[in-house]
C-alpha cells in the first residue's frame, strides 16, 4: 500500500510518500514547497515529482492520502476526508485560521487530482474523544457549549504516539495495544495496575497531556491552539477579563488584540528577544532578565499543568518529553523535574545531559517515576491510522 501524507500550512505544502508492506512502514519519497499561493499547482508539481523520481509509475498508484487536520466543527476522529470534513474545517476556520482553510482546499484538490485514492483525515482532537465530560466544559451557558465552545485539545497524534511507545518501553504491551487500536476499538479495560503517564509536547507550540492506560484523560490546550502553555509567539492561557481591559486601555480593536495575542505574545512577547527558545536561552545566559522570565514562565506553566492531572491519574508512573524543545534541551527537562524527589521523580544528570535527541531513559535507577525522552513521530501515527481505516481493521500494526 502506498500512502501519501499531505501537510498543508498557511503558505506551505509538504509531503511524504510511505510504502506499507508486511507491517513495515518505509519512506519512499518526500518534498515540499514554501510561499504557496496556489495549492492546486503545487500538488500537481508534487505528483509529477513522485513520477519523475520513480516513486510511482503514475499518481493513480497512490492508494490513500492522509491529512493531519486540526479542528472540525462537530466532527473529530479518524474519518474519510469527504465534503463533511471540508464543511467541518470551514465551520471552525476562524478558530484555526492558519490550518483549516489550507486543509479544506488541499482535500478539494486531492479529490479532483486523485479520485481513485482513499482520503483520510485524522483530527488532532481525536485523541481526546474519551476525556471525561467535565474536563471538556468551560463554565459558560449551555448554549455556548452547544455552539462548540469547549475544550478540544491538540497535538493529538504526538501524544497518541507517546501513549503507545511509552507503554512499550515500560513493558506494558497490553496498554500499548489499547493505545494503538483506540480509534477503531475505543478505550478498553486492562488487567492489573493502571499505567499513568504525563506527556510533555514542547516545541514551537506546546501542550501537556495526562494519559491513563493509553487513553487521554486531560490536556492543557482547550478551544483553540492559542491556549495552555505559553507558545512561541502565542499567549497561552489568559483571563478573559484581560481582553476588554486591553481594548479600552490601548484603544485597539478586537482584531488588533487578536494579532498581538497570536503573533506578538508567548516567549516572544515576554522576552522581547525572539520566539525561538534557543535565542531566549542565550539572552538569559547573558543576563537578560526578560528572557529569564520567559523561561521561568514556560517551566512554571508546564509544571502547573502536569501537577493538575495528578489527582485524576491517581499517581504517576512516567513523565515523557517529546517534540523539538523537549527532546533537545536537557536543561529544560531538569528545570521541569527539579525538586520532585518527594513525588518519586529523580533525574540522572549524566543520562539527561547525554540525551540531546533520540530515545532515552533520563531518570536515575532509584527514581520511582521513569523519565523518558521519546522523539515525536506524528506522521507514523497518521500512516498507521490511514492503513487501519482503509483496511477496516483494528489489528493492523
- Are 83 and 218 part of one and the same domain? no
**Residue-wise pLDDT tens digits, 362-371:** 999 999 999 9
**Residue-wise pLDDT tens digits, 323-353:** 999 999 999 999 999 999 999 999 999 999 9
Q: Which CATH number is 26's domain given?
A: 3.30.420.40
Q: CB–CB of 160/374 below 8 Å?
A: no
Q: CA–CA separation, 206 vs 208, rounded Å?
A: 7
- Are 288 and 368 part of one and the same domain? yes
Q: Which residues are documented as binding site? A: 7, 14, 276-278, 324-328, 378
Q: Which domain holds residue 169?
A: 156-378
Is the pLDDT at 396 greater than 80, yes or no? no
Q: Can you tell me the mean pLDDT for 308-313?
A: 96
In Å, what is the CA distance from 214 to each residue of 199, 317, 359, 372? 11, 13, 19, 16
In sequence order, which residues have a C-beta less than 8 Å from that of residue 392 and are 6 or more positions away? none
- Are 109 and 230 part of one and the same domain? no
**Residue-wise pLDDT tens digits, 1-57:** 999 999 998 889 999 999 999 889 999 999 999 999 999 999 999 999 999 999 999
- Are 192 and 336 part of one and the same domain? yes
- Are 226 and 370 part of one and the same domain? yes
Chain centroid, CA 319 distance in Å: 17
- Are 179 and 292 part of one and the same domain? yes
Strand, coil or helix: 37: coil
Residue 198 lies in a domain: yes
Is the pLDDT at 395 greater than 60, yes or no? no
In sequence order, which residues have a C-beta less than 8 Å from that of residue 242 and are 6 or more positions away? none
Residue 130 lies in a domain: no
**CB-side exposure of 342: number of CA atoms within 13 Å?**
1
> CB burial class (10 A; 0-12, 13-18, 19+) of residue 190?
middle
Residue 395 lies in a domain: no
Q: Which residues are documented as binding site for Mg(2+)? A: 7, 378
**Residue-wise pLDDT tens digits, 183-237:** 988 999 999 999 999 999 999 999 999 999 999 999 999 999 889 999 999 999 9
DSSP 8-state assignment for residue 205? S
Q: Which residues are documented as binding site for ATP? A: 14, 276-278, 324-328
- Are 217 and 350 part of one and the same domain? yes
To the question of pTM greater than 0.85 for the whole model, the response is yes
Residue 224 lies in a domain: yes
**Residue-wise pLDDT tens digits, 375-387:** 999 999 999 999 9
Number of domains in the chain: 2
**Confidence category of residue 393, pLDDT binned at 50, 70, 90:** low
Amino acid at each position: 500500500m502506498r500512502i501519501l501524507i499531505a501537510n498543508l500550512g498557511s503558505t506551505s505544502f509538504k509531503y511524504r510518500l510511505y510504502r506499507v508492506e508486511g507491517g513495515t512502514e518505509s519512506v519512499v519519497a518526500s518534498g515540499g514547497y514554501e510561499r504557496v499561493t496556489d495549492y492546486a499547482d503545487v500538488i500537481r508539481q508534487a505528483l509529477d515529482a513522485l513520477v519523475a523520481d520513480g516513486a510511482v509509475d503514475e499518481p493513480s498508484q497512490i492508494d490513500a492520502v492522509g491529512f493531519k487536520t486540526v479542528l472540525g466543527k462537530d466532527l473529530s476522529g479518524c474519518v474519510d476526508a469527504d465534503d463533511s470534513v471540508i464543511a467541518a474545517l470551514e465551520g471552525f476556520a476562524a478558530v484555526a485560521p492558519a490550518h483549516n482553510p489550507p486543509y479544506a482546499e488541499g482535500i478539494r484538490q486531492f479529490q479532483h487530482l486523485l479520485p481513485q485514492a482513499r482520503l483520510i483525515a485524522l483530527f488532532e482532537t481525536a485523541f481526546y474523544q474519551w476525556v471525561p465530560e467535565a474536563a471538556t466544559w468551560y463554565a459558560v451557558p449551555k448554549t455556548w457549549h452547544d455552539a462548540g465552545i469547549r475544550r478540544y485539545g491538540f497535538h493529538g497524534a504526538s501524544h497518541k504516539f507517546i501513549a503507545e511507545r511509552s507503554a512499550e518501553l515500560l513493558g506494558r504491551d497490553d496498554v500499548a495495544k489499547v493505545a494503538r487500536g483506540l480509534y477503531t476499538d475505543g478505550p478498553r479495560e486492562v488487567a492489573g495496575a493502571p499505567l499513568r503517564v504525563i506527556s510533555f509536547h514542547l516545541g514551537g507550540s506546546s501542550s501537556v497531556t495526562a494519559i491513563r492506560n493509553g487513553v487521554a484523560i486531560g490536556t492543557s490546550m482547550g478551544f483553540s491552539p492559542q491556549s495552555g502553555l505559553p507558545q512561541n509567539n502565542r499567549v497561552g492561557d489568559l483571563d478573559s477579563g484581560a481582553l476588554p481591559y486591553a481594548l479600552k486601555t490601548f484603544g485597539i480593536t478586537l482584531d488588533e488584540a487578536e494579532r498581538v495575542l497570536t503573533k506578538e505574545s508567548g516567549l516572544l512577547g515576554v522576552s522581547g528577544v525572539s520566539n525561538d527558545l534557543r535565542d531566549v536561552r542565550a539572552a538569559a545566559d547573558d543576563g537578560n532578565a526578560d528572557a529569564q522570565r520567559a523561561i521561568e514562565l514556560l517551566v512554571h506553566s508546564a509544571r502547573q499543568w502536569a501537577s493538575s492531572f495528578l489527582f485524576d491519574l491517581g499517581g504517576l508512573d512516567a513523565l515523557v518529553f517529546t517534540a523539538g524543545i523537549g527532546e533537545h534541551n536537557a536543561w529544560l527537562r531538569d528545570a521541569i523535574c527539579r525538586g520532585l524527589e518527594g513525588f518519586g521523580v529523580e533525574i540522572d544528570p549524566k543520562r539527561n545531559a547525554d540525551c540531546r535527541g533520540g530515545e532515552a531513559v533520563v531518570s536515575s535507577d532509584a527514581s520511582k517515576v521513569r523519565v523518558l525522552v521519546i522523539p515525536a513521530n506524528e506522521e507514523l501515527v497518521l500512516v498507521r491510522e490511514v492503513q487501519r481505516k482503509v483496511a477496516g481493521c483494528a489489528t493492523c500494526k
